[in-house]
């Protein structure tokens, strides 16, 4: 059974408060999304396994900790997930990056797939799927299904703001994955937008309307 971890770190909460403000412009929004992704990454990688490795310092031999051999991949859900990639790679620079393109149909709110390109050895990697928003959960659930169809087993999902409905859907569809959430909001509105949320994450990152 995977876990759902809602962040309580003051820096994360402060930065999420900043990107919620309607007056926060594209440049600051993008920069802050990246910083939040880095902070959530720090929490989401807490359980990575370590090996003891013997090394020599300039003074003597000693044993140090090193991440176990398992390689990682970051998989943003396009478009908005792209805003979290740099922050993730700041902490795990050797990770490969896959891309899954999904958009929500404006009428049905169902995800529509338009792109999928993953590292060829993704089934052997620890995967971090990133998307700032978990609203109905349809996009995240579909992306994780696509990854499982490619043989991926170790999957984590990271978002900045979630609705309770999205967390419920994702834990029901994929009970095996860990979910890391910056903040859990109140509800969805009639257009399946998160309330209070921050509006359309993709538009705010890329300056589109």
CB atoms within 10 A of CB 148: 16
Q: Which residue has the tokens 């999902």?
A: 157
Distance CA 205, CA 164 (A): 23
Is residue 197 at the binding interface for ligand URA, with CB under 6 A as the rule?
yes
Choice between 99 and 109, CB closer to ligand URA:
109
Question: Which residue, among 145, 156, 131, 176, has the nearest Cα to 48 in the 3D structure?
Answer: 156
Rounded (5°) CA angle 146-140-111: 80
Structure tokens at 100: 């899954």
Note the maximum CA span of the chain.
66
- Tell me what percent of the chain is helix, strand and coil, each rounded to the nearest 5: 35, 30, 35
Out of 98, 139, 157, 171, the only residue in the binding site for ligand PRP (CB under 6 A) is 139
- Residue of 30, 104, 169, 204 marked catalytic: 104
Structure tokens at 182: 């910056």
Choice between 16 and 73, CB closer to ligand URA:
16
197 binds, among ligand PRP, ligand URA, none (CB under 5 to 8 A by kind): ligand URA
Choice between 12 and 167, CB closer to ligand PRP:
167
We find the least distance from the C-beta atom of residue 148 to ligand PRP, in angstroms, to be: 17
194 binds, among ligand PRP, ligand URA, none (CB under 5 to 8 A by kind): ligand URA
To the query of whether residue 145 is one of the catalytic residues in this protein, the response is: no
To the query of whether residue 105 is one of the catalytic residues in this protein, the response is: no
To the query of whether residue 203 is one of the catalytic residues in this protein, the response is: yes
Residues of this chain that interact with ligand URA (CB under 6 A) are 80, 133, 135, 193-194, 197, 200-202
| Residues designated as active site | 104, 108, 200, 203
């Amino acid at each position: 059974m995977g876990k759902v971890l809602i962040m309580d770190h003051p820096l994360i909460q402060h930065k999420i408060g900043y990107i919620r403000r309607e007056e926060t412009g594209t440049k600051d929004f993008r920069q802050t999304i990246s910083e939040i992704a880095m902070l959530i990454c720090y929490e989401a990688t807490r359980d990575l396994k370590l090996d003891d490795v013997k090394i020599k310092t300039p003074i003597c031999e000693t044993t140090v900790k090193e991440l176990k051999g398992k390689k990682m991949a970051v998989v943003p859900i396009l478009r908005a997930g792209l805003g979290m990639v740099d922050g993730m790679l700041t902490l795990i620079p050797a990770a490969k990056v896959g891309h899954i393109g999904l958009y929500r149909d404006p009428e049905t709110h169902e995800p529509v797939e338009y792109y999928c390109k993953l590292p060829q050895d993704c089934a052997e990697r620890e995967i971090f799927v990133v998307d700032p928003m978990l609203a109905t959960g349809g996009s995240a659930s579909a992306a994780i299904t696509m990854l499982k169809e490619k043989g991926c087993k170790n999957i984590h999902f990271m978002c900045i703001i979630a609705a309770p409905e999205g967390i419920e859907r994702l834990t029901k569809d994929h009970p095996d994955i860990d979910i890391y959430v910056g903040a859990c909001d109140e509800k969805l509105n009639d257009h399946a937008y998160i309330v209070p949320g921050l509006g359309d994450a993709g538009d705010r990152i890329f300056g589109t309307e």
